[in-house]
């Protein structure tokens, strides 16, 4: 039986992409995971991309310790350093194979993890090679959810050339909203990313406070996509390192995520 990534794709269209970004500690990794959880009900082919070196999304999805793009990148660089042109060409031709080898296929979704990169220095040709391979792979999926690391510009150069839906995550603090506004300005100043839509999701907020956040979002020039209430069960599962895919659909966090996905016309 063919895997999702091995199936022939008649169209060259890319998956509809959703990338989540935000300052540290706002819960974007948990929300990225819950988005995968919410999208699984559509029965569409979903690719989760864990672009944070901490690999929190990988843990939250219960995907173990997969081979990462960082490891592939390091292998290619180590071969290139040997200055053996024949070996370098062979490895470059096998990048697609390495990519498939690092793809974790679970019931309802597949996962690709960036991981850490230990080799220092600029290796733009290698980064471009991996980015092109990821874009080719994404054509085998309908939806892609990316948990971005801090410093969005690094992710956009290494993983995606284009994002359809960029979701900026904030907590209810004034500092969180200020950072969200700064993130929007950063994204709009970089021509590489070309987001189709930018919106704000406020995490861990009190129920009934949506009007307050709507005003704050407007002040930052952001569309409010939705709010996620504080969810004790989610918090306990996250602390225990449990898969967030087990969070019930009736939980406050999952209801909030479903509302956001509906606003984005994805469910």
Q: What is the pLDDT of residues 77-133, one digit of tens each?
A: 777 677 767 766 777 677 777 788 889 999 999 999 887 766 555 555 556 666 776
Q: Is residue 255 part of a domain?
A: yes
Q: Is residue 5 part of a domain?
A: no
Question: What CATH number does residue 225 fall under?
Answer: 3.40.50.300
Asked, for residue 3, whether it belongs to a domain, the answer is no
Place of tokens 């819960």: 27
Q: How much is the pTM?
A: 0.85
The whole-angstrom separation of Cα 23 and Cα 21 is 7
Cα angle 35, 147, 240; round to 5: 75
Q: Give the CA count within 13 Å in the CB-facing half-sphere of 37.
A: 27
For residue 83 the two structure tokens come to 């200055």
Quick check: is 256 in a domain? Answer: yes
Tell me the backbone φ, ψ of residue 193, rounded to 5 degrees: -80, -40
**Is the confidence at residue 157, as pLDDT, over 60?**
no
Euclidean distance between CA atoms 89 and 100, whole angstroms: 19
In a domain, 6, yes or no: no
Residue 121's CB is within 10 A of a number of other CB atoms, namely 6
* 139 located within any domain: yes
Count of domains for the chain: 1
Domain housing 63? 12-263
Q: Looking at the domain assignment, is residue 7 inside a domain?
A: no
Give a yes or no: residue 4 inside a domain: no
Q: Quick check: 129 and 91 in contact, CB under 8 A? A: no
- Phi, psi at 46, each rounded to 5°: -115, 130
Asked which of 39-43, 91-95, 110-114, 210-214 is least confident by mean pLDDT, the reply is 91-95
């Amino acid at each position: 039986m063919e895997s999702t990534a091995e199936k022939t794709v008649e169209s060259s269209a890319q998956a509809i992409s959703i990338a989540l970004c935000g300052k540290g500690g706002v819960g974007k990794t948990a929300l990225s995971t819950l988005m995968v959880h919410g999208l699984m009900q559509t029965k569409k082919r979903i690719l989760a991309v864990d672009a944070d070196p901490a690999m929190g999304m990988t843990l939250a999805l219960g995907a173990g310790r997969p081979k990462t793009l960082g490891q592939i990148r390091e292998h290619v660089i180590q071969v290139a350093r040997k200055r053996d042109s024949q070996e370098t060409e062979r490895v470059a031709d096998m990048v697609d194979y390495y990519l498939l080898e690092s793809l974790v296929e679970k019931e309802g979704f597949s996962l690709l993890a960036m991981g850490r990169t230990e080799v220092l220095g600029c290796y733009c040709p290698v980064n471009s090679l991996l980015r092109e391979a990821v874009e080719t792979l994404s054509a085998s999926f309908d939806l892609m959810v990316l948990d971005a690391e801090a410093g969005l510009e690094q992710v956009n150069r290494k993983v995606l050339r284009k994002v359809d839906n960029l979701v900026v995550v904030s907590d209810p603090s004034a500092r969180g909203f200020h950072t969200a506004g700064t993130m929007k300005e950063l994204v709009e100043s970089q021509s590489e990313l070309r987001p189709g839509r930018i919106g704000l999701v406020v995490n861990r907020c009190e129920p009934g406070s949506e009007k307050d956040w709507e005003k704050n979002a407007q002040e930052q020039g952001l569309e409010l996509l939705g709010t996620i209430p504080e969810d004790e069960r989610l918090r306990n599962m996250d602390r225990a390192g449990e898969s967030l895919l087990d969070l019930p659909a009736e939980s406050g966090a999952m209801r909030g995520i479903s509302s956001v996905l509906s606003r984005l016309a994805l469910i």
